[in-house]
A and B are shown apart, each in its own frame.
Chain A
């Protein structure tokens, strides 16, 4: 079955530290990849997406992610986190290609706490 794995369930960082959140998916075909963020008390917001082209994708708020097809990975990075980045981060995949519908398959999420 198609699945998305986020290996870090909880991450605690100090401000200005660098961030990398892992995301791996199990699907052999073409995929569309997403990172969503959910700030405390708010709804899911799209951070960035990859459909095709340059595998290094830049999103909002200084986040970026790199699609490495050979590793089935789409890790999220930020060089210097801020306290306001405290949130839950979700990686998601849409397996595209013939017959696939548009449903997102989500990872279980990573809770990031940034200490001031």
Chain B
């Protein structure tokens, strides 16, 4: 089984440009999570999505960041007008279900975003 796939693995953008990060969950998984790892810090939750629904976006910056998980295709994390502080590793994870007996989340390889 293919694991969680993310692309691109590395992304370089200049300040003011847009970054689009893609995540394809594991087969059979319908829940997607995005996390961000800033330099010298642990992973921080950003957003939790199910197909066509944002369940929890409490970790998303209020501006410039958006996420979607359409009915068809990968989940997309979009960062508009990037700034140097957006440079980080962005990880996607997926799980087959959620609820009181939470399933473990399986992580992709991450996208390393560098903003020049």
Where the two chains meet, the residues of A that have a C-beta atom closer than 8 Å to any C-beta of B are 4, 32, 34, 36, 42-46, 49, 51-52, 90, 92, 94, 96-97, 101-109
Contacts and interface: CB of A to CB of B under 8 A. Distances in A.
9 contacts: A34-B104, A43-B110, A45-B107, A49-B104, A51-B101, A101-B56, A102-B56, A105-B45, A106-B44
A52 B102 CA distance: 11
A102 B48 contact: yes
A74 B104 CA distance: 16
A49 B59 CA distance: 23
What range describes how many residues of B lie at the interface? Answer: 20 to 34
Interface in B20-76: 31, 33, 35, 41-45, 48, 55-56, 58-59
B105 interface: yes
A4 B45 CA distance: 13
Candidate in A45, A102, A108, A109 with the most chain B CB atoms within 10 angstroms: A102
A46 B41 contact: no
Interface of B: 31, 33, 35, 41-45, 48, 55-56, 58-59, 91, 93, 95, 98, 100-102, 104-110
Given A43-B107, A96-B100, A102 B95 contact: yes
Nearest to B4: A43
Q: Closest 6 A-B residue pairs measured CB to CB?
A: A44-B107, A102-B98, A101-B56, A108-B42, A43-B109, A103-B45
B105 A90 contact: no
Nearest to A91: B42
B109 A102 contact: no
A109 B59 contact: no
A97 B98 CA distance: 12
A7 B25 CA distance: 32
A106 B42 contact: yes
B62 to A, nearest CB: 18
B102 A46 contact: no
B45 to A, nearest CB: 4
A103 B101 contact: no
A106 B106 CA distance: 14
A43 B6 CA distance: 11
B103 to A, nearest CB: 8
